[in-house]
Amino acid sequence: MRVLVADDERLLADTVAQGLRRLSMAVDVCYDGDTAFERITVHRYDVAVLDRDMPGRTGDDVCRWVAGTDDVETRVLLLTAAAGLRDRVEGLGLGADDYLTKPFAFAELAARVQALGRRSTPAVPPVLEQEGIVLDVARHVATRDGKVLNLTNKEFAVLHVLLAARGRVVSAEELLERAWDENTDPFTHVVRVTVMNLRKKLGEPGVVHTVHRSGYRIGGSF
């Protein structure tokens, strides 16, 4: 899952991003609405966590644009210090998918982000199973044939993308977009190395297949 966190409270934004990364999400961070708008027009985010009151474009402005743009499938979680009923109704009326008031518990925010991610198109179930692999996204646990796999956050994220593809070939570029943030050098071999390490940890028989000049997939006919 790829997430954008935008809040002018820098410590809050950075703390939220750090916590979500520990759940194997690729997270980009910014501190104003103009930058948030630019990021969403460039990258495909599953979820955007937007503070309503930011310099430049507000979170409301960005949310309104996302909701009114047909080819943007990003789910929006609005953050605000305003806890009144009218404020919540107004926020949801802008097109937000969810609304959370400050202060909040990180566990609740993470659960809401995960729930919104499952509502993305196409919908992805919270537990993915294929070839003896079971990936429980909410619990952040991966097993194969009942044995717990000791995966890094990036290996977990790559496995998540491959399983969610349901046998479709996933290119290295798509894996880079979905599992890494914008700070990753696109010319590195990070995807190939991560897939290689993931294969080793999944064990035999091999289930992550390379499709020549196309990418990777789990399952499907060959």
What's the confidence (pLDDT) of residue 222?
Answer: 45
CB neighbourhood size of 219 (10 A): 17
User: What is the token pair recorded at 122?
Assistant: 């196409």
Stretch 163-187: mean pLDDT: 83
Nearest CA-CA partner of 25 in 5, 52, 54, 50: 5
C-alpha span between 184 and 222 (Å, rounded):
32
Nearest CA-CA partner of 157 in 194, 116, 117, 183: 194
Tell whether the model's pLDDT for residue 201 goes beyond 90. yes
**Quick check: bond before 126 cis, omega within 30?**
no
The model's pLDDT over 88-144, given as tens digits with 9 standing for 90+, comes to 677 677 888 998 988 999 999 999 999 898 776 565 677 899 989 999 987 889 999
The model's pLDDT over 63-81, given as tens digits with 9 standing for 90+, comes to 999 988 878 889 999 998 8
Stretch 29-48: mean pLDDT: 93
What's the confidence (pLDDT) of residue 110?
Answer: 95
Q: Where are the alpha helices (DSSP H) in 105-219?
A: 106-118, 153-164, 172-179, 190-202
Q: What is the pTM of this model?
A: 0.67
**Range scoring the smallest mean pLDDT among 25-39, 110-124, 163-177, 196-210:** 110-124
DSSP character string of 35-70: HHHHHHHHS--SEEEEESS-SSS-HHHHHHHHHT-T
Tell whether the model's pLDDT for residue 186 goes beyond 80. no
**Range scoring the smallest mean pLDDT among 1-10, 121-130, 141-150:** 121-130
Q: How confident is the model at residue 85 (pLDDT cuts 50, 70, 90)?
A: low
Percent of the chain with pLDDT over 90: 56
Instruction: Kindly report the average pLDDT of the chain as a whole number.
Output: 88
What's the confidence (pLDDT) of residue 220?
Answer: 60
What's the confidence (pLDDT) of residue 32?
Answer: 95
- More confident position, 65 or 87: 65
